[in-house]
């Protein structure tokens, strides 16, 4: 069985490290980016099975990243989990249009993140 691929996007390096370690420990191949523009470039080549992205980032925020992913034939169906600071929210209509699988407010537990990833992928990812 091939490893699932995840793209983790956040401008806070400690968040990227925690998420990447949790996913790698559960059998994922992980690529990272520190802003939405880099993430879009990586996603086009890497073609992840899931994207975990922050909402607020420089150059291209999480919503703009998701909009761009949805416009690309290779990534338009890729599940996305968005990480948000408390108090930031997206209206339900926009969330549905962007097909965002889940929102996790920071701080979140790595176990909670893994459960969201499993749900978004429709399977258990524990190795």
- Asked if residue 121 belongs to a domain, the reply is no
- Could you give the angle at which helices 13-24 and 110-121 cross, rounded to 10 degrees? 60
What confidence score (pLDDT) does residue 85 get? 80
CA gap 77, 71 in Å, rounded: 10
* Structural domain boundaries enclosing 58: 4-108
Structural contact between residues 15 and 106, judged by C-beta atoms closer than 8 angstroms: yes
- Asked if residue 118 belongs to a domain, the reply is no
Based on the structure, what is the number of domains in the chain?
Answer: 1
- Which stretch of DSSP H or E encloses residue 81? strand 80-85
- Asked if residue 91 belongs to a domain, the reply is yes
What is the SS3 assignment for 92? helix
What confidence score (pLDDT) does residue 88 get? 63
- Asked if residue 126 belongs to a domain, the reply is no
The pLDDT profile of the chain, 127 residues, written as one tens digit per residue, is: 578 999 999 999 999 999 999 999 999 999 999 999 999 999 999 999 999 999 999 889 999 999 999 999 999 999 999 998 865 667 778 878 889 999 899 889 999 999 999 999 996 555 4
What confidence score (pLDDT) does residue 4 get? 95
- Asked if residue 26 belongs to a domain, the reply is yes
Is the entire prediction scored with pTM above 0.75?
A: yes
CATH number at residue 94: 3.40.50.2300
Backbone angles phi, psi at 9, to 5 degrees: -130, 120
- Asked if residue 116 belongs to a domain, the reply is no
């Amino acid at each position: 069985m091939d490893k699932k691929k995840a793209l983790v996007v956040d401008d806070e390096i400690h968040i990227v490290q925690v998420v990447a370690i949790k996913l790698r420990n559960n059998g994922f191949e992980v690529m990272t980016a520190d802003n939405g523009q880099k993430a879009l470039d990586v996603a086009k080549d890497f073609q992840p099975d899931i994207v975990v992205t922050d909402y607020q980032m420089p150059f291209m925020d999480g919503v703009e990243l998701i909009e761009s992913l949805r416009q690309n034939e290779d990534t338009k169906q890729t599940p996305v989990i968005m990480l948000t600071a408390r108090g930031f929210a997206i209206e339900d209509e926009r969330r549905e249009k962007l097909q965002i699988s889940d929102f996790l407010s920071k701080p979140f537990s790595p176990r909670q993140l893994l459960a969201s990833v499993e749900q978004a992928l429709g399977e258990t990812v524990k190795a």
